[in-house]
Amino acid sequence: MCGRFVQIIDVELLARRFGVKQPEQISVQSNFNVAPGDFAYVITNEKPDELQAFQFAFTPSWAKKKMYLINARAEGDLNKENDPNYKGEMGILKKPAFRTAIKSKRCLVIANGYFEGPEEEKLSKPFHISKKNGEVFCFAGIWDTWIDHDTGEVDNTFGIITVVANSISQQIGHHRSPLILDKKDEKKWLDNNLPIDEVLSLLKPYPGKEFKAEPISIRVKNPRNKGKDILIPINQGGNTEYDVSAKKSLKLQGMGHNKRKEEEPPQQGTLF
């Protein structure tokens, strides 16, 4: 799943890249380790010309309690084996939590990179995955507005769609990929009039060949570590918390020799 990503805030660049208005007040700062519960900028189908700060904790409007559904599987309960060659039905339409949002509440989740690890080790063997050309890109997201009926608090929340593993995910041994949109499909994802069949046709993995994966320190596991230093590859940063075996699998070379035990991250709620 995709539960951590990088979002660097340069409002002028984002305004040019996405054709949105610059916000009068910057409500979100650059975050090099966006984690569940954090706020990040998204662009919604409801306000496609604005940057909006939503919480990474998707909760459908009908929920009685906050749900923190950070990812939504494109196949739903189908393809339980996570077959990367799956060509069947997109079961997300059958999931009560997501079926309304996938039809009418879609958003772009702006990212400069994301973090993933092997299926078993997860962020105990973390990689920073980003575009080889350094460009910003977008996850396909869904959003909703949830109201706490006890306090009256209104929460705008989002989650990220996941699909079968592309080549970069397979290379690091992970079983899923976040749904990254081709630049030409970003406006289409926000189109309120797009037929659902065309929406579902976009639920496919982005070419992994356009991305690079660099091993980094396990400091990323702690969601309180949000500085840009966590992006330093271990062959440059002098950290050895990372398991060299996974690094060799990517044919990356060089590593330092300073061991340090990292604090385990706090719980972020129920993750799906």
- Report, in angstroms and rounded to the nearest whole number, the Rg of the chain calculated over CA atoms: 18
Kindly tell me if the per-residue pLDDT of 265 is higher than 60: no
d(CA 18, CA 32): 21
Q: Is residue 218 part of a domain?
A: no
What's residue 120's pLDDT? Answer: 94
Per the prediction, the chain carries an average pLDDT of 88
Kindly tell me if the per-residue pLDDT of 270 is higher than 90: no
Which has the closest alpha carbon to 219: 76, 33, 70, 28? 33
Kindly tell me if the per-residue pLDDT of 269 is higher than 90: no
123-134 confidence digits (pLDDT tens)? 999 999 999 999
d(CA 160, CA 30): 19
What's residue 176's pLDDT? Answer: 97
Which has the closest alpha carbon to 126: 42, 237, 257, 272? 237
Q: Is residue 250 part of a domain?
A: no
What's residue 24's pLDDT? Answer: 84
pTM (two decimals) = 0.86
What CATH number is associated with residue 32? 3.90.1680.10
Q: Give the pLDDT band (50/70/90) at residue 1.
A: low
160-175 confidence digits (pLDDT tens)? 999 999 999 999 999 9
The range of the structural domain enclosing residue 109 comes to: 5-125+133-206
How is residue 182 written in tokens? 């081709």
Q: Give the pLDDT band (50/70/90) at residue 268.
A: very low
- Bridge partners of 110, per DSSP, are 138
Percent of the chain at pLDDT exceeding 90: 82
Which has the closest alpha carbon to 122: 210, 266, 263, 243? 243
Q: Give the pLDDT band (50/70/90) at residue 11.
A: very high
- Tokens 């039905």: give the residue: 89
Q: What is residue 247's three-state secondary structure?
A: helix
Instruction: Tally the domains of the chain.
Output: 1
Q: Is residue 44 part of a domain?
A: yes
Q: Is residue 155 part of a domain?
A: yes
What's residue 13's pLDDT? Answer: 95
Tell me the mean pLDDT in the region 142-152: 95
> What residue ranges in the chain does DSSP mark as E strands?
5-7, 31-34, 39-44, 52-56, 71-73, 106-111, 113-116, 127-131, 137-147, 154-164, 176-178, 211-215
Q: Is residue 221 part of a domain?
A: no
Tell me the mean pLDDT in the region 79-102: 97
Q: Is residue 226 part of a domain?
A: no
Q: Is residue 225 part of a domain?
A: no
At residue 229, φ and ψ (nearest 5 deg) are -65, -20
- Bridge partners of 233, per DSSP, are 216
- Bridge partners of 55, per DSSP, are 39, 157
Q: Is residue 81 part of a domain?
A: yes
Q: What is residue 73's three-state secondary structure?
A: strand
Lowest mean pLDDT: which of 64-68, 110-114, 204-208, 242-246?
242-246
Tell me the mean pLDDT in the region 223-227: 97
